[in-house]
Chains A and B, each alone.
Chain A
């Protein structure tokens, strides 16, 4: 409970009064009961989509990249589009967990765990595309600089594609570590609730012997802050490097210095839309409306207004510079984008990314989960089209009209893309079942936010009554563990 003097304008982050015990109970409840039929249906669909995607990828690897719709002019299309799209989705998780942490935004506590999990799953989906598009994915280790028998032929460190390898793998590793470090106290909480068995043993190993000691907490806070400080420039660098895949080339429409900030803004924009999509479903299904409140959703829509504005400004700047540069190729590339054969994709993008976020200026829309859900899907579609437009329209008509061409994806490419959605949702649904999807420890620390007195619930929580006070049975054998021996709950009268 915070002792700060807060303005009366502050509203509690947990909208229902809860005790610490009830909070633990509520957040652990989904992991401790059997999955509902809804979960099974969703999981079944996700796994079916994933299996289809896996089959299609197997067919493509077995047959060759020729099954894709690429041609001599357009050598990059769906694969890199989806790669950039998924990496972008991933960025919101790090933004919520690291950047908002540095800015001391307390409202991040309810959503950071799920958003970071989303980051990991999205980066996994993204990393599949470069791997698949190698054509011979079993040679993927060639991109690593290791002493080899090819005369020690090293990788080309001057290539943006290699920077990508380092950026994505570092991003994934650091995000995973950040997520795990954040999980440790909660894993210990879950461990102490479980009765002896396989799950308890697993959580015991995973929680590394966390005891809640303040000496450890103190170091933990330092480490968390350091990781947040490292992850913040990292997240910006990753999409910067992804944008350099295009910006370091000479293709009109790609050869621009605006790409790094433009891509980062777009990534945050699409990522927040995806976080909203998932959170709106999650809060309803699990009954977490008092933890992931309307205010959380509203704050995220405000971020979307800002980043949507940045993206719109980038679109306008690209056109202005194309005209102002006096470069005929650049001018043509942008006119072709807006009025050429792919104009339909361009205008879908403009409608979804430039027009739709402005609906969030209206408080009615900003505070209606249904409206936010629809708009978040619209923005995701728009951001996918943004990647598609940037990549395909720039490539399909470059300097030489003799090499102009059109691109149509084949079923294999579409199937691979849909398959990654299967992977993403399969992983997310498993995550909801096996780990606490809201950071228990962090929400506990903001429980007293904007409440003058410690919260005393008038009504028991909707899911289950306040936690029973019987302890998980521990062996009564008086084993000595430094620094403390075991005590059973009987020692703590309530």
Chain B
């Protein structure tokens, strides 16, 4: 099963923003927009929801914090309490630095890991970028609906907003 997708290439940020908005308002199925850099306002134009990775970050930080504090309490108070210069075994303030560092470490690594999983980024990935979208082109990918003339109207819309080229591709759906 394969479906044709229409790709429109643009050469400026403003045009691609306008075209994305227009395509979405016209009810086309926006597959994705490809840009060489993060274009501000494109998320809203595409209607993307804010990422939930912030919750992953918070949870991982809380986990790191708990584990670090538990490790220090267990080793210093339960497993083998050592008298070092008369300091109390449970020196709570002295445990804060390591707790903080591990909170940050867990949060950072887990967030990045979750991002890679969610965005399907991994070494050995076979995906290839569209021509020049990592250089100086912006591309909008539209899957025209089943309506008659959907393809023509989508192409006309892209052209109208200044697409420098359009391209029709068959992709495995």
| Chain A interface (Cβ < 8 Å from any Cβ of B) | 1-3, 19-21, 24, 145, 151-160, 162-163, 166-167, 170, 173-174, 177-178, 181, 184-185, 188-189, 191-193, 205-206, 208-223, 226-227, 230-231, 233-234, 237, 241, 244, 440-442, 444-445, 448, 454, 467, 471, 474, 480-489, 491-494
- Contact A212 B7, beta carbon cutoff 8 Å: no
Q: Pick the residue among A223, A441, A486 that contacts B37 (CB under 8 A).
A: A441
Nearest chain A residue, comparing its CB with the CB of B56: A226
Q: A212-B35, A221-B38 are in contact. List 9 more A-B contacts (CB 8 A).
A: A19-B136, A157-B76, A213-B33, A214-B32, A214-B39, A219-B51, A226-B107, A483-B141, A485-B170
Nearest chain B residue, comparing its CB with the CB of A474: B128
A20-B135, A151-B80, A174-B104 are known contacts. Are A217 and B130 too (CB-CB below 8 A)? no
- Spot the interface stretch: B87-95, B145-153, B154-162: B87-95
- Contact A154 B80, beta carbon cutoff 8 Å: yes
- Contact A166 B129, beta carbon cutoff 8 Å: no
| Interface residue count on the B side (C-beta < 8 Å) | 81
Residues of A within 8 A of B37 (CB): 185, 217, 440-442, 444-445
Q: Tell me what chain A mostly uses at the interface: helix, strand, loop, or mixed.
A: helix
Complex alpha-carbon distance, A205 and B87, angstroms:
50
Nearest chain B residue, comparing its CB with the CB of A487: B131
Complex alpha-carbon distance, A344 and B56, angstroms:
53
Nearest chain A residue, comparing its CB with the CB of B129: A211
- Contact A158 B84, beta carbon cutoff 8 Å: yes
Complex alpha-carbon distance, A485 and B141, angstroms:
12
Complex alpha-carbon distance, A212 and B141, angstroms:
12
- Contact B53 A222, beta carbon cutoff 8 Å: yes
Report, nearest first, the 8 A-B pairs whose CB atoms are least far apart.
A209-B125, A20-B136, A154-B75, A208-B121, A21-B136, A222-B51, A163-B97, A441-B37
Residues of A within 8 A of B71 (CB): 145
Residues of A within 8 A of B42 (CB): 214, 217-218
- Contact A454 B12, beta carbon cutoff 8 Å: yes
Residues of A within 8 A of B53 (CB): 219, 222-223, 226
Complex alpha-carbon distance, A117 and B152, angstroms:
49
- Contact A483 B171, beta carbon cutoff 8 Å: yes
**From residue B96, how far is it (CB to closest CB) to chain A in Å?**
9
Nearest chain A residue, comparing its CB with the CB of B76: A157
**From residue A189, how far is it (CB to closest CB) to chain B in Å?**
4
B26 sits at the interface (CB 8 A): no
Complex alpha-carbon distance, A20 and B76, angstroms:
57
Complex alpha-carbon distance, A485 and B169, angstroms:
7
B24 sits at the interface (CB 8 A): no
- Contact A208 B129, beta carbon cutoff 8 Å: no
Complex alpha-carbon distance, A3 and B46, angstroms:
18
Residues of B within 8 A of A484 (CB): 5, 7, 128, 130, 141, 169, 171
